[in-house]
Amino acid sequence: MAYFKNNRNSQTIAPRLKPLPFDYREGYGCFFRKAKENEKTGEVVFLDLETTGLNISKDEVIEVGMVRATYSKATFEILEISKAYDGFREPSAPLSETIVNLTGLTDEKLHGCTLDFKKIFEILNGCNLIVSHNAAFDRPFFERLMEGQIDSKFYWGCSMEGVSWRVGHKKESCSLPKLVRSVGYEYEAHRAINDVFAMLTLLIKENALKELLINTSKGYEIIRIKNADNLPYEELRKLRFMYKSEQNSYYKTIHGSQLNYYLTGLNKLGIANEDLEVKQVSGLNAFRMM
């Protein structure tokens, strides 16, 4: 991707990815190559959100980043980036110091900001697949944001859980900034549109879009730890398990190819298989709030 400067042959710190590598005025797009005659193509929306916190029941979306791309169903190459949107929303309460430090957004920057739902609808129109790097976080917040405005007939893919980064790609972490750094790029994370372009860059550089889309079509597995009493919270947090207080349980959505990796890890933490419940779900129902 020529619009990102690679740092592999430089002795300086890698330049950060620009928030918008193109001037996305209306009607402007980026072609990597045109589809060949009779080549079948698909559409996918890459999405990322910034919020006021992690609690879906009380925290709010403050930034939406979206990119719509066309890909070849034969080669899984990205052919075109046709639309992009980066929008901000003023929350109902002041931002915490943690969120200001994490995102760089401030109450002043968000004052009076509203999302352009017309542009969001335009990007989603005619597409039934949304991909984010942490779909277990983004899907519940996005569906709550769009409640009553769109239906829920979207398949969701997760570039963190739908790609075997540790086992297949030999990566040390599934963190988006660390993954992007591993392919030679640096960028300003925790800004929605930056994260979207970083995710897209990563998938292209690692040739991982095919793996992600095939795994999403096969569905995902939900691992639930049935009783959360006396469990090692910090270790489970590192594995990105989410806590469900109503059930006093932890859960995580993964692709089936990673099941043995996580079961082995949980066993090492002293959690036996009989204390676990594994359920298969389609991409249509994956990453919803349980």
Q: What is the pLDDT of residue 23?
A: 41
DSSP β-bridge partners for residue 277 = 224
Q: What is the pLDDT of residue 243?
A: 85
Coarse DSSP helix, strand, coil percentages of the chain, rounded to the nearest 5 percent? 30, 25, 50
Helix locations, the chain, DSSP H: 97-103, 107-110, 117-124, 135-145, 176-182, 192-205, 209-218, 233-238, 259-268
d(CA 143, CA 237): 24
What percentage of the chain carries pLDDT values higher than 70?
88
pLDDT in tens, 103-158: 999 999 999 999 999 999 999 999 999 999 999 999 999 999 998 777 668 999 99
Mean predicted confidence (pLDDT) in 29-51:
89
Task: Give 7: exposed, middle or buried? Use CB within 10 Å, 0-12, 13-18, 19+.
Answer: middle
In angstroms, the Cα distances linking 158 to 96, 149, 193, 287 are 28, 23, 16, 9
**C-alpha dihedral, 204 to 116 to 95 to 199, nearest 10°:** 0
CB 221 within 8 A of CB 88: no
Q: What is the pLDDT of residue 16?
A: 47
Report strand pairing: 61-72 vs 78-88.
antiparallel
pLDDT tier, 186 (very low <50, low <70, confident <90, very high otherwise): confident
Q: Which domains, and CATH codes, for the chain? A: 16-218 (3.30.420.10), 220-281 (3.30.70)
pLDDT tier, 30 (very low <50, low <70, confident <90, very high otherwise): low
d(CA 131, CA 255): 14
Q: What is the mean pLDDT of the chain?
A: 86
Residue with the two structure tokens 């691992």: 223
Alpha carbon 205 to its chain centroid, in Å, reads: 17
Mean predicted confidence (pLDDT) in 64-82:
93
Q: What is the pLDDT of residue 143?
A: 93
Q: Reduce the DSSP state of residue 32 to 3 states and report it.
A: coil
* Model confidence at 22: pLDDT above 80: no
* Model confidence at 288: pLDDT above 90: no
Q: Reduce the DSSP state of residue 99 to 3 states and report it.
A: helix
pLDDT tier, 160 (very low <50, low <70, confident <90, very high otherwise): very high
Report strand pairing: 220-225 vs 276-281.
antiparallel
Q: Transcribe 209-236 into DSSP letters.
A: HHHHHHHHHH-EEEEEES--TT--HHHH
